[in-house]
Amino acid sequence: MSRIYDALQRADIERQAAQGKDAAENAEPYFVSGSEDLPPIEAGVNLENTVLHSWKPSLVSLPTLGDRGEGIEQFRGLRSQIYQFRDQNPLKTILVSSGMPAEGKTFVAANLAVSLARNRNNTVLLIDADLRRPALHAILGAPSAPGLAEYLAGAAEVSDILQRNENPRVVEAGIMHAIPDLAFIPSGAGGDNSSELVANHRIEELVAALSPHFDWILIDSPPVLAFADAIDLARAADAVLLVARGATTPFDVAQRAQAAFANSRILGFVLNAVKDAPRRTSYYYDYDKQEAGSGSPKRKDKRRQG
């Protein structure tokens, strides 16, 4: 995924330079109230009230919107692994994180969400919980607020922050790309108050309320070794999927990231941006089956399935 990821980085920089700072970055952070002061979650979430926006997704950042190519095949392989985990144990809500910044967690979260949504008519919810450095809205070309921060602060309801794309397809270079029916909750204006917002446990109420309406819920979190938010967010998820960058992430950083989620079910590591990866191999660190008597992950090469 190295070429795709590098293109993503360039596209994101160009997009932000062209558009200027996002409104969420300029917004005043919310005063954080105690959980007892927050309003209760609205009863009976009605998805028919979901706000529609005209998204402008970045195709270079979302190779899974294509019909063929190395990128889409890699995410099909990852999707197959996710299905296998669900066959073994109940699995719906997945937190996607990494040890340190710039390892590709947001890229993986966005494309895995699209890949899941395009397969078997799955209903998928993607949540941007990286309140300090949100990026999913830029990839999807969607509004960044109101979002999760406003909900956690008690300033918005579920119906205010949940959005979908009103355009079922996008055309680039004469090629039509179908966009799946994906629901999205942006980060909103979190800023430096994000740790306090996440720690009030309201994210767990949100996921519990929306879970019956979706087949999959993916949460993009901050890097776990940089911010404590990811540990609090993991309480709302069934499992954690970690991302490391090939030839860049030190092995001890991967080990520390695993240890940070010691109280969570870890699916494994996605090894992103592998240079010259074999076309039929998806690189994956599986923590469910470790070497006997060792605390280190065992590397496994798994064949993709379709």
Asked, for residue 45, whether it belongs to a domain, the answer is: no
* DSSP code at position 295: -
Asked, for residue 182, whether it belongs to a domain, the answer is: yes
- Residue 121 C-beta-side C-alpha neighbours within 13 Å: 0
Asked, for residue 38, whether it belongs to a domain, the answer is: no
Q: Is the dihedral of CA 102, 243, 118, 47 positive or negative?
A: negative
Q: Supply the Cα-derived Rg of the chain in whole angstroms.
A: 18
Q: What CATH number should be reported for the domain holding residue 178?
A: 3.40.50.300
Q: Number of structural domains, the chain?
A: 1
Query: Which own/partner contact pairs does 257-260 have at CB distance under 8 Å and 24+ positions apart?
Result: 257/97, 257/98, 257/99, 257/224, 257/225, 258/287, 258/297, 260/224, 260/225, 260/230, 260/231
- 237 near 111, Cβ under 8 Å? no
Q: What is the pLDDT of residue 43?
A: 56
Per-position b or e across 262-275, b if 16+ CB within 10 A of its CB: eebbbbbbbbbbbe
Q: Which two tokens stand for residue 175?
A: 């090629």
Q: What is the pLDDT of residue 170?
A: 87
- 94 near 216, Cβ under 8 Å? yes
For residue 52, what are the CA distances in angstroms to 91, 163, 175, 184?
Answer: 28, 6, 24, 10
Whole domain around residue 229: which residue ranges? Answer: 2-26+50-303
**Identity of residue 4:** I
Q: What pTM value is reported for the model?
A: 0.80
Asked, for residue 194, whether it belongs to a domain, the answer is: yes
Asked, for residue 35, whether it belongs to a domain, the answer is: no
Residue (of 239, 232, 196) closest to 217 by Cα position: 239
Asked, for residue 34, whether it belongs to a domain, the answer is: no
Which residues contact residue 16 at a Cβ distance below 8 angstroms, ignoring those fewer than 6 apart?
22, 138
Asked, for residue 272, whether it belongs to a domain, the answer is: yes
Q: Which two tokens stand for residue 58?
A: 């970045």
Q: What is the pLDDT of residue 295?
A: 40
Question: Alpha-carbon dihedral of residues 10, 3, 300, 67, nearest 10 degrees?
Answer: 100
Q: What is the pLDDT of residue 33?
A: 47
Which residues contact residue 74 at a Cβ distance below 8 angstroms, ignoring those fewer than 6 apart?
1, 282, 304
pLDDT tens-place values along the chain, 306 residues long: 444 444 444 444 344 434 434 444 444 444 444 445 555 655 568 888 899 999 999 999 999 998 888 889 999 999 999 999 999 999 999 999 999 999 999 999 999 999 999 998 799 999 999 999 999 999 999 999 999 999 999 999 999 999 999 998 888 877 888 999 899 999 999 777 888 899 988 999 999 999 999 999 999 999 999 998 999 999 999 999 999 998 889 999 999 999 999 999 999 999 988 776 555 434 444 434 333 333 444 444 333 333
Q: What is the pLDDT of residue 278?
A: 55
Asked, for residue 42, whether it belongs to a domain, the answer is: no
